[in-house]
Chains A and B, each alone.
Chain A
């Protein structure tokens, strides 16, 4: 099976812009989670979607949002970008809603100038 894929792999934006990142889960997986990784804060949970519904949300401002489509693909959006949003954004998928291991994609590295 193909792994989790994320596009784009690298992105450069300027402050105030918005950005959309995409994640395609492992075939058959219905849950997608997003994590932010920065040198200062480490790996932090953003949100999780299952069957197109947001099931859990981390402690991030409303500028961070996401959605999941009927084919389980997910997008996350960050509006009004700030310098501190520069990070590696990792997507993970798993088969069932609450159990099972999360498998991660290669990440999207976002740089905000």
Chain B
């Protein structure tokens, strides 16, 4: 069965610090997709990134970067030079090709960026 673990429930940093959010997943499927979503206080889940299991290339988008390592079943998310607007709950999610591609979410990491 698929499972996503976000061991950090809450992280607090000061603005301009770098922060890494950890995500570890379990799956028996060979074809799967990994996602990160951001949930601000308004409640809507905002899509950040999607990677498939065959593409281990790391990705950078502005201050955001993602490190996908199949060997350790991890898909970590780093925010460089954090800003107050980055404060939110971040969710890592997994979907498996053989499970109808429903999303299985981790428990989320609440990030608080203080000025």
Q: How many residue pairs between the two chains, A and B, have CB atoms under 8 Å in the bound complex?
A: 51
Q: Which of A98, A102, A107 has the most CB of B within 10 A?
A: A102
Mask, A55-97, CB within 8 Å of B = 1, is 1101000000000000000000000000000001010100000
CB distance A98 to B101 under 8 Å? yes
CB distance A43 to B91 under 8 Å? yes
B97: chain A residues at CB < 8 Å are 98
CB distance A42 to B103 under 8 Å? no
For residue A105, CB closer than 8 A to chain B, the reply is yes
CB distance B43 to A48 under 8 Å? no
What is the interface size of chain A, counting residues whose CB is below 8 A from a CB of the partner? 23
Q: List 27 A-B contacts (CB under 8 A).
A: A33-B102, A33-B103, A35-B103, A42-B105, A42-B106, A43-B91, A43-B103, A43-B105, A45-B103, A48-B100, A56-B102, A88-B43, A90-B43, A92-B45, A98-B97, A98-B101, A99-B101, A101-B35, A101-B47, A101-B50, A103-B47, A104-B37, A104-B44, A104-B45, A106-B43, A107-B43, A107-B44
